[in-house]
Structure 1
Amino acid sequence: MNKRIFLSAPHMGGNELNYIQEAFDANYIAPVGRNIDEFEKQIKEYTGAKYALAVSSGTAAIHLALRVLGIKDGDEVMASTFTFIGSVAPILYERCTPFFIDSDTASWNLDPNLLEEELSQRAATGKKQPKALIVTHLYGQCADIVRIQNICEHYGVHLIEDAAESLGATLNAQHTGTFGKLGIYSFNGNKIITTSGGGMLVSDDEALLSYARHLSTQARDDAPHYEHNEYGYNYRMSNITAGIGRGQMEVLSERIKRRREIFNLYQKELNIIEGLSFMPELPSSVGNRWLTTILLPVHLSPEKIRVTLEKENIESRPLWKPMHAQPLFRDAKGCINGTSDTFFKKGICLPSSSSMNNDDIQRILSLLKPLLNC
């Protein structure tokens, strides 16, 4: 059987084991130690965020963001509908009400026009505004985040950036995750860099990050015994996995460069197909191209392509099924215009691992081209 080509495989840089060994040598195995401190420092220096907190997952980081902003018990939280469940599950953790906003065609991310129309209509009619908006930078590409930020500020809505997939992506040279009140990154096994599982919460607000740090360690108060005035979570990242993160940060720029090269190779070979399109990149933005994603011509089935590739031991995946279309959210309200439904029906994610070589890509293209009739 041909070797397996994964959609987005972990890709080690070389120094990860050295940092893990450092933690073993110091016997700092638990969620404390130099690796965590250094990993948080690397993220701050790279993104420009003033404060950073390493946690167990991107979802945990979003949950902490909601908690430190005081959002709970029936509060309404708006969110991108075209996203992964981890972006919005924390809304349910805090017993809040989700309200979904559809995508635009210029970025495939949250449509600022729909957002502004909804918030302005509420303001005009005296309807209560949402407490927060969670906007996702999908597949490593920037949302129209400056405009979204301005809209949220105008209407007094807290902005939380789900930059789980977009570490290294910028708009006007500013990193995703640093526009809102709080931002998050994910280091799950399939992300552009990984700690095997983990996340990061960032902010320029010292008080919010300090409170999040407190909550992430079971909300233990400063006392020689275990004293608790409120409940928290076991959300801190391990010093061992943070060592992996340190090594991964050293090669992040190389990983982004390679992902963008892979995107360009796909685009060069497939752009001639009538009706096929790639996820766009907004002007003045540079995405990390975590995954290369395409929309197929109307006569082609993403599932047929996925099954054909899988038979050859090549992993691909449909685009995200929108949250408003999920059974879990059947009763949720939102501003839905059908854009993300179309993306889901006609889109597919192509293998994009930075460890793939050009022969791997040619193998994929040799299967794709006959299916695409080119």
Structure 2
Amino acid sequence: MTRTVHLSSPDVGPLEEAYLIAALRSGWVAPAGPDLEAFEREIASRVGTRGAVAVSSGTAALHLALLGVGVGPGDVVLVPTLTFVATANAVRYTGARPAFVDCDPRTGNVNVPLVAELLRRLRARGERVGAVVPVDMFGSCADYTALLPLCAEAGVPVVEDAAEALGATHHGRAAGSFGRAGVLSFNGNKIMTTSGGGMLVSDDLPLLARARHLATQAREPTLHYEHRETGYNYRLSNLLAALGRAQLVRLDGMIGRRRQLRDRYAKLFAPVPGVELVGAEDGASNCWLTVIRVRPDRAGWRAAELAAHLREQDIETRPVWNPMHRQPAYADSESLLTGAADDLFAEGLTLPSGSALTERQIAAVLGAIDDFLTVRTGGSSA
């Protein structure tokens, strides 16, 4: 191959170009404008919340959400150990400290019984738990049916990190709509993109109003510049919101293509011993990334070996997230672990999953995997 097949490239085309040109010609180049306001309304409608605030990144949305539920210095916030570092970093921005919880090995999502146990331990020590932040891993929602009542009984707010899960559902309810506030990401590799950007969604209108205020440098509504507290430069631009509006129009089609590709991976690996797909299998996932887990004692080969083979064909893969308790920046943090996240990091592999992949690229990826399996198993998996 002469061109790298990437994991999850942006999927943009003529509609995005048309929306951006229209926004430029409208004169609303910076900082806010009608596309920004419309984008917030449209995302809130899609997720099913009363409102939304568009910001510069999912990390910014997490920070504002945690501030909005009252997290501050001295608090402890429960965070999955299997996540991107932004989830933990946002906790530290508030002056609180994260405590990490291991995952369900089948889905990668947070282990709810471990959340219950860590809440019990922290409360027994007299610690104040400011929030629980579940992360909807790889596009599949966490088990909110079990998690929400648990947190409600403990009196702890939930901030849903749905950065990977826009378009996914749990028992018919949209990702981002669970808990006191939800967070979405529109980074370049996500299910839809605004180049960079994020969204805070919630039914709590005062929380959203407070977030909007803080996201615009906490400027007071006066003719002159007046600031009574520290704010942040977090708002999304009108131009990027226009890009997001076009992406949202196409979202269901992009999810559909990712689901079709996951199904093809599932068929390819179904007869292969020791290989399983990680995540929901009930059609509720947005299939942002397809992740396989390779158990070398049964498969006879390791995920890293398949990754090396694909790399030789200019096909990008990636391990799953290196758990937070392994990160040098968080090595001293409290953790409640079973080894599940460590196992997924050692045995998991993320495969090309983007909706922008052409049929030729998909065929090349599937063919390269089949070639590898043929050598390793002595016969084609097809």
- Conservation of the 8 A alpha-carbon contact between 2:7 and 2:354: yes
Q: 2:372 & 2:128 partners in 1: Cα distance? A: 48
Helix, strand or coil for the counterpart of 1:286? coil
Change (3 A) 1:13 1:149: farther
Which residue of structure 2 aligns with residue 135 of structure 1? 134
Residue correspondences, number? 372
1:267-313 Cα shifts (integer Å, max 9, x gaps): 10111110100013166x60000011000131423333222212211
Task: Output the CA distance in 1 between the equivalents of 2:292 and 2:128.
Answer: 35
Structure 1 residues 1-374: aligned runs within 5 Å? 1-123=1-123, 125=124, 127-281=126-280, 286-298=284-296, 299-372=300-373, 373-374=376-377
State the 1:28 CA deviation.
1.1
* Structure 1 contact 106–280 (Cα < 8 Å) conserved: yes
CA RMSD of aligned residues (A): 1.5
* Mapped partners of 1:224, 1:182: distance in 2: 32
Deviations 1:158-206 (A, max 9, x none): 1001100100000111011111111010000011110100000000000
Residues 142, 170 of structure 1: 8 Å contact kept: yes
CA displacement, residues 103-135 of structure 1 (integer Å, 9 cap, x when unaligned): 013422000011112223445x35324111111
Secondary structure (helix, strand or coil) at the match of 2:14 reads: coil
Offset of residue 13 of structure 1: 4.6
Aligned letter for 1:288?
A: N
Letter in 2 for 1:290: W
The 3-state SS of whatever aligns with 1:201 is strand
CA distance in 1, matches of 2:281, 2:205: 31
8 Å CA contact 2:294, 2:347 repeated in 1: yes
Question: 1:352 and 1:29 mapped to 2: Cα distance?
Answer: 33
Q: Secondary structure at the match of 1:136?
A: coil
Aligned residues of 1:106 and 1:282 also touching (Cα < 8 A): no
Structure 1 gap segments, 5+ residues each: none
- C-alpha separation between the residues in 2 aligned to 1:171 and 1:358? 30
Note the alpha carbon deviations across 1:29-72, whole angstroms, 9 max, x for none. 11210110111111011111111010000000001111222212
Distance across 2 between alignment mates of 1:85 and 1:208: 24
SS in 1 for 2:129: coil
Query: 1:368: how far off?
Result: 1.7
* CA–CA distance in structure 1, aligned partners of residues 69 and 46 of structure 2: 25
TM-score when normalising by structure 2: 0.94
Percent same amino acid among aligned pairs?
39
Check the 8 A contact 1:256/1:288 in 2, yes or no: yes
Corresponding residue for residue 380 of structure 2: none
Q: Distance in 1 between matches of 2:280 and 2:93?
A: 33
1:325 maps to a residue whose letter is: R
Q: Which moved more, 1:14-23 or 1:79-88?
A: 14-23
Q: Return the alpha-carbon distance in structure 2 between the equivalents of residues 203 and 78 of structure 1.
A: 20
Question: Residues 189, 135 of structure 1: CA spacing in aligned structure 2 closer, same or farther, 3 A cutoff?
Answer: same
